[in-house]
Structure 1
Amino acid sequence: MSEYQSAISKLNDRSRAILREIVDSYIATGEPVGSRNLARVLPMALSPASIRNVMSDLEYAGLIYAPHTSAGRLPTQSGLRLFVDGLLEVGNLSAEERGKLEAQIAVRRSKPLDQVLTEAGEMISGLSHCAGVVLTEKQVARLKHVEFVMIEPTRALVVLVDEDRNVENRLIDVPAGLPPSALIEAANYLNAHIRGLTIAEARSSIDAELAKSRAELDQLTQKVIKAGLAEWSGVHDDRKSLIVRGQANLLKDLTAIEDLERIRQLFDDLETKRDLSQILGLADQADGVRIFIGSENKLFSLSGSSLIVAPFRDGERKVVGVLGVIGPTRLNYARIIPMVDYTARLVSRVLT
């Protein structure tokens, strides 16, 4: 039992019902709700005075707060988390919604991976009315061919082609005086061992093969092979591909200059990919949807946004990326959680 589920079990029926209505009202309108309005919608007969007593207890527990004197109440971040973990009734996508998603993803099987992921981000943004985000390692496609081309006495160009017909070029340092035959031998060796593998798989496989084949390859050729793979298999920020679609949705319903400043900060964070590896790492640890509310993820602590993401996997069930939505903390969690989960599962099917 999680911390929040344990906390929920300690609330009585009145407290649960009132917290649920306060959160539901906040998600629907963004406005505080008072005891009189709550009395009209609660499933039980309670006077405004009784409701105010319960609200006082919830406020003392740090689950709701009054934005200003004599106002109604709004949920705190802890209150939202308690609601999501313990009170939320997640809906199911309708057969029609599932059919639309399946049809849109299915027609993309023949397209390059980057295009599939971009369109998935656009699709989930349009359905959720939030910003769609996709984060993945740049090379999740299977490799097809590699070539080395000498361009300077100590520099060579590595040309990598994957099965989606994407081509990437990188410069690597090579030892001075390297004979052209070493580049040809390195390319031949790699092409005999990497076809059909991802970069991560190729790096692991080649490291093992080189350990067994040192007598077959001279040291210069081995250095070229390792340098060529290392250029793509590092863990730097530019190794990650970030796709964000529908940013304009985040500008809706802003009520103050400070709200606009928070969204500007979010855009800056996304543009610089700050701390995005944390998202991928956290999603990698989960089987399904992960939800980050406000400052729970330092990437969005300044912008006050929520993030709902789910991992997608390749044919070997390895997590190769995450997709989801970014929006205000008053997201329609019940609708968006199954949407993100199902879209991630569909993308996984495309990658198998």
Structure 2
Amino acid sequence: MTNPVFDQNLQSLDVRSRDIFRAIVDSYLRDGEPLGSRNLSRMLPASLSPATVRNVMSDLEQLGLIYAPHISAGRLPTQKGLRFFVDAFMELGDLSEEERRTIDAQVKASGSGSTLEQMLTEASQMLSGMSRGAGLVVAAKNEVPLKHLEFIQLEPTRALAVLVSQNGDVENRIVELPPGVTTSQLMEASNFLNAHIVGRTLAEARAEVARLKAQTKTALDALSQDLVDKGLAVWSGGDGGLPATLIVRGRANLLENVTAEADIQLLRHLFEDLETKDGLMQLLDLAEGGSGVRIFIGSENKLFSLSGSSLVVAPYRDKDSRVVGALGVIGPTRLNYARIVPMVDYTAQMISRMLR
């Protein structure tokens, strides 16, 4: 992706400035530590004095690409600098044959005889292990064709609504019952729903029942009609479908090598964000915004902006090429983007193939 600001910055940098900027970013991504002018002058291929390096670093600071975390320290890339580096300089690596085989074997093994959620959980765990970040998967279930719905009475005014999809996933919800509901009415409502939901997504089933409203009122008494409405409505998200499911594995990886209290506080913010279901669809929106892998650095990702984390995310698609979920890696801003991008991309492609 191109950005006029980055293009302008790139044009204003000579070869020496680019070399120094890349060295600072490379050092940060590798070690997470500020890089000073003296050490920089020793690392560069051209013979430059520390004073010359400091002058170039001052220019880079003026552009907002680097900053000094405290007085007399070296320099670190800013969020803007990281974005500039990713867009203008980063050379994507390629997965090794061993990594491809690992992803192929893991996805195929977890997809054989398993539910979709089990397969995605394994994918999340695998991404975490390979990236040393946290593996993240969002599954939007509202497009899955349905197989069966059943009411199981728990108390006089409460029942368990069990929804089974055709891929084997099972969802349970508690439904508040109207006073006076009998077991036979629960069965009557279940039978009516099952006659009209099989093979349809939840959104399609709701539309069909709404279309049959007059017939429904004739066929069912008032209490059973209410149960039919409740049986579909209990799963409704904001768009009339099943809510998205978030799967996160490897959170402990994010705690490795974190000692500063400020960094620990940022991770607390991140973990709180991951527990907030309200923002899950934002992740799908982020993934749908591009055809492939997208990188969000720090506050660019509004969902995790307080924690300053980075997110590498890609959509996966069903047999009709519709985006039905997203997967990726979340971690500190010093993620190894060049390695993680192809890893996330290939895993998303494999999941998509398994869903066809």
TM-score range, shorter chain: 0.7 to 0.9
Gaps spanning 5+ residues in structure 2: where? none
State the match for 1:98 in structure 2.
100
TM-score normalised by L of structure 1: 0.87
AA in 2 matched with 1:213: L
| 1:251 and 2:255 are equivalent in the alignment | yes
State the match for 1:226 in structure 2.
229
State the match for 2:315 in structure 1.
311
Once the two structures are superposed, residues 293-333 of structure 1 have per-residue CA deviations (whole angstroms, 9 ceiling, x without a partner) of: 12222443333321211122222222222221121111111
Deviation at 1:192, TM superposition (A): 3.4
State the match for 2:114 in structure 1.
111
Aligned residues of 2:145 and 2:202 also touching (Cα < 8 A): no
* Partners of 2:304 and 2:211 in 1: CA distance: 47
Deviation at 1:115, TM superposition (A): 1.4
Once the two structures are superposed, residues 133-155 of structure 1 have per-residue CA deviations (whole angstroms, 9 ceiling, x without a partner) of: 22223566442111234566665
Greater displacement, 29-38 / 113-122: 29-38
Deviation at 1:284, TM superposition (A): 2.5
TM-score normalised by L of structure 2: 0.86
State the match for 2:328 in structure 1.
324
Q: Secondary structure at the match of 1:108?
A: helix
Aligned residues of 2:106 and 2:122 also touching (Cα < 8 A): no
Aligned residues of 1:274 and 1:299 also touching (Cα < 8 A): no
Gaps spanning 5+ residues in structure 1: where? none
Greater displacement, 96-105 / 257-266: 257-266
Once the two structures are superposed, residues 75-117 of structure 1 have per-residue CA deviations (whole angstroms, 9 ceiling, x without a partner) of: 0111111111222111111222112211111112221222111
Closer, same or farther in 2 for the Cα pair 1:25/1:350, shift >3 Å?
same
State the match for 1:209 in structure 2.
208
Closer, same or farther in 2 for the Cα pair 1:112/1:43, shift >3 Å?
same
Q: Secondary structure at the match of 1:169?
A: strand
State the match for 1:50 in structure 2.
52
Closer, same or farther in 2 for the Cα pair 1:274/1:80, shift >3 Å?
farther
State the match for 1:334 in structure 2.
338
Deviation at 1:184, TM superposition (A): 4.4
State the match for 1:31 in structure 2.
33
Once the two structures are superposed, residues 276-305 of structure 1 have per-residue CA deviations (whole angstroms, 9 ceiling, x without a partner) of: 332222222222222221222244333332
2:245 to 233, 241, 258: 241
* Partners of 1:274 and 1:207 in 2: CA distance: 23
How big is the alpha-carbon RMSD for the aligned residues of Structure 1 and Structure 2? 2.8
* Partners of 1:218 and 1:273 in 2: CA distance: 36
Q: Secondary structure at the match of 1:145?
A: strand
Task: Count how many residue pairs are aligned between Structure 1 and Structure 2.
Answer: 347
